[in-house]
Chains A and B, each alone.
Chain A
Amino acid sequence: MISISLNFIRRRRLTIEVRQRISLGLHVSILLGALFFGIGVCIAILLGRGVELSSIYEEFIVFTFFDSAGISSVIVESIPLVLVGLAAAVAFRVNFWNIGIEGQMFMGAIGASVVALFDIGPEILRLPIMFIFAAIFGIFWASGPAILKVRLNVNEVISTLLLNYIAYYFVLNQLFGPWKDPRDKFPHGEQYDIAERLPAIGWEQVHYGVAVAAFSFIVVWWIIERSRFGISSRFVGVNPKMALAVGLPVSTIVAGSAMASGSIAGAAGFVIAAATEYRLTFTMAAGYGFSGIVIAFLAGNRPITTVIVAFLMGSLFVAGESMKVFYSLPDALVGLIQAIIVLSVTASEFFVRYRLRLASFGDT
């Protein structure tokens, strides 16, 4: 029963009931209703900023889905998004709120850049070594909060977030100092050699980051949906106390998931450094942390839906990018749209779980 301020309805009051079950049709229509509501709010905001309705349609639908160049840029944009979405999903499944994806991406990019800068390994193996270094650096950055969480119960939301700032300032320190580009003296890393860049696959600008994303997806899918670890982690996520009581190694599963999350975030840093920027930059991770959270949340932490949502989010990124250029809208636009959609979807879950009913007094 909601008793706040709803009692004024004469002789009647609004009560809420827990739904015992919900039909698929109703569930889907509630979700769609929430999405339309959120998208409607976003369109209203864009219209308020002087963007024309027709160009919203052009940018978000026509250009991103019905145009070869457009769809390829959506795919390129969604490669890191698939990775950060998977990274978030792996951790969120065990209720480890990894907010530190951006920091772990920076670490991944630092790992890849160390290999590229010091020419570690033969050229033919350079990219795989960069990938492995990136994953290990990502694991390293996630391991601190993971251990603090399972050993000392330190809130991982705060610890991972603080490590974002620490990684960011470390990158700034390197880029304004020892790793400054020796050629143009700009605060970005030295450009990678050809052997250190992910090559194009030969269709539009799509590059072999697609393979990294596909590989990560298959591994994550297998671990989550098929392996014993995945089933245990689902148990830990749903009911940690029960999982502990039946003898599952809860700490190991939580810490393991957190580190796996860090490794995927590190891989995302590697992909951006080796396929888009061709160097270490201090802007490369901006916005990806929250995007990963949004994608995993909307996808319900399942690998397959994560890929689909990441693709849709990729189109938002591409359309948002051209919107920013044409209408001089701020960088914060994409984040704002994401936030509004997340809030409407998360609020709509109330109507999935509960039913509102107008009850007369005397009813029980």
Chain B
Amino acid sequence: MEFLTNWLAFMPVFAAPLVLAALGLIINERAGILNLGAEGIMLCGALIGIISYIELGESSALGFIFGSLAGVILGFVFGFLVVVLRTNQVVTGITFVILGSGLTGLMGIPWVNKAVSGITPIYIPHLTDIPIIGRFLFGQDILVYVTIIFVVFVWLFLYRTRTGLELRAVGENPQAADANGINVEAYRLLAATIGGAFIGLSGAYLALAMAKIFVLDMTQGRGWIAIALVIFARWMPWRAIIGGALFGGIEALIPRLKATGVPIPQYYLEMAPYLATLAVLIYAALRLRSGQDAPKALGIPYVREDRK
């Protein structure tokens, strides 16, 4: 019982960063941009989040804001490279991972391994004390709830606004969008920038809420897991919550299982999230009609001058 309560209570903390990053990637990919650099952008968001927190009077809010600003800048640079300069999206994305790791490694030295108190969970008398589901539902930090609001907003934006419709059109069929007077490049640049904000925020969350410390390369592949999550979510925001809960559940399970002393070798436990991601990718591929959900122009640059 204790085990279940704890596991449920910690699951959202592991799920939220994945959902946030996946949201950013969904916005990117819906506009046709494949940003494989999420891992690097998250790292920068994490470091900038910690720096702002420590240097600006221990305010988590400022940490989150500057963390997402770092994501905005990197997202914009990524967008500028792939949209305006038409660089190869795969090469640019992978390079951004190393860029993020290198920048944080070089600049972050004074702030590495400094524990912070970070953001604290809310407490509502009575509600939080409900057995089993009390802390799970009513004992999270603010950003977990904000994440859910973001999911709703992104869904509303993509499916209930004209801008969202046009953004999706750019990702599905840029030729047709262009012919209808939609500025393909501007939309893609915008998507890369807004997506970057979410990815940066996700990194700041990792540092300020989950780990409460910045460690070199602390993202540990979460950016890649988020990319796989988008495929699992079939590019739909609300399904990212399901995927986030699945992976968050697995990650939250690892420290709990270690604590109970179940005789599973430690490093096989650490392997679990990556194995699960692989399994989810295969599951998504095996699904009937899968692949049809992907934006049709995903990863394909649009160059009006190259049009046949």
Contact = CB atoms under 8 A, between A and B. Distances in A.
Given A161-B224, A349-B87, A339 B267 contact: no
Interface stretch (B3-11, B138-146, B182-190, B196-204): B182-190
Contacts of B137: none
Interface string B72-94: 00000000010011111011101
Given A49-B106, A99-B94, A4 B285 contact: no
B55 interface: no
A127 B163 CA distance: 63
Interface stretch (A23-31, A62-70, A152-160): A152-160
B102 to A, nearest CB: 3
Contacts of A329: 106
B106 A347 contact: no
A152 B286 contact: yes
A18 B306 contact: yes
A166 B274 contact: yes
Contacts of A16: 305
Given A330-B105, A342-B91, A169 B270 contact: yes
A177 interface: yes
Interface residue tally of chain B, by bracket?
35 or more
A336 B98 contact: yes
A336 B103 contact: yes
B91 A293 contact: yes
B281 A154 contact: yes
Given A18-B306, A158-B227, A161-B221, A166 B92 contact: no
A350 B99 contact: no
B104 interface: yes
A343 B291 contact: no
A335 interface: yes
Interface string A252-286: 00000000000000000000000000000000000
A349 to B, nearest CB: 7
B271 to A, nearest CB: 4
A312 B281 CA distance: 38
Given A177-B265, A346-B88, A170 B305 contact: no
B228 interface: yes
A350 B87 contact: yes
A338 B98 contact: yes
Nearest to A334: B102
A35 interface: no
Nearest to B305: A18
A153 B265 contact: no
A176 B267 contact: yes
A45 B281 CA distance: 39
B282 interface: yes
Range, interface on chain A: 35 or more
A158 B227 CA distance: 8
Nearest to B109: A330
A290 B91 CA distance: 10
Nearest to B96: A339
Judged by DSSP, the binding face of B is helix
A290 B94 contact: yes
B98 A290 contact: yes
B272 to A, nearest CB: 9
A4 to B, nearest CB: 5
Nearest to B225: A162
A143 B265 CA distance: 26
Contacts of B275: 162, 166
Contact of B87 (A97, A333, A347): A347
A362 to B, nearest CB: 19
B94 A159 contact: no
Nearest to B183: A3
Interface in A14-70: 16-18, 45, 49
A354 B85 CA distance: 10
Interface string A1-21: 111100000000000111000
B267 A170 contact: yes
Contacts of A172: 267, 270
Contacts of A177: 265
A126 B231 CA distance: 45
Contacts of B285: 148, 152-154
A2 to B, nearest CB: 7
B304 interface: yes
B81 A2 contact: no
Contact of B81 (A3, A166, A343): A343
B101 interface: yes
A297 B87 CA distance: 12
Interface in B249-308: 265-268, 270-271, 274-275, 277-278, 281-282, 285-286, 291, 304-306
Contacts of A353: 86
A193 interface: no
A119 interface: no
A158 B183 contact: no
Contacts of A170: 267, 271
A45 B274 contact: no
Which of B91, B186, B282 has the most chain A CB atoms closer than 10 A to its own CB?
B91
A340 interface: yes
A325 interface: no
Interface of B: 36, 81, 84-88, 90-92, 94-99, 101-106, 109, 183, 185-186, 189, 216, 220-221, 224, 227-228, 231, 265-268, 270-271, 274-275, 277-278, 281-282, 285-286, 291, 304-306
Given A162-B278, A330-B109, 13 more contacts: A148-B282, A152-B285, A158-B277, A165-B221, A169-B271, A169-B274, A290-B94, A331-B105, A336-B103, A336-B106, A339-B96, A350-B86, A354-B305
24 contacts: A4-B183, A49-B106, A97-B90, A99-B94, A152-B282, A154-B282, A158-B281, A165-B221, A165-B274, A166-B275, A169-B271, A170-B267, A173-B267, A293-B91, A332-B102, A332-B106, A332-B216, A335-B101, A335-B102, A335-B105, A338-B98, A340-B99, A343-B87, A343-B99
A-B complex: 9 closest residue pairs judged by Cβ atoms: A332-B105, A336-B102, A173-B267, A152-B285, A339-B99, A330-B105, A350-B85, A332-B102, A169-B271
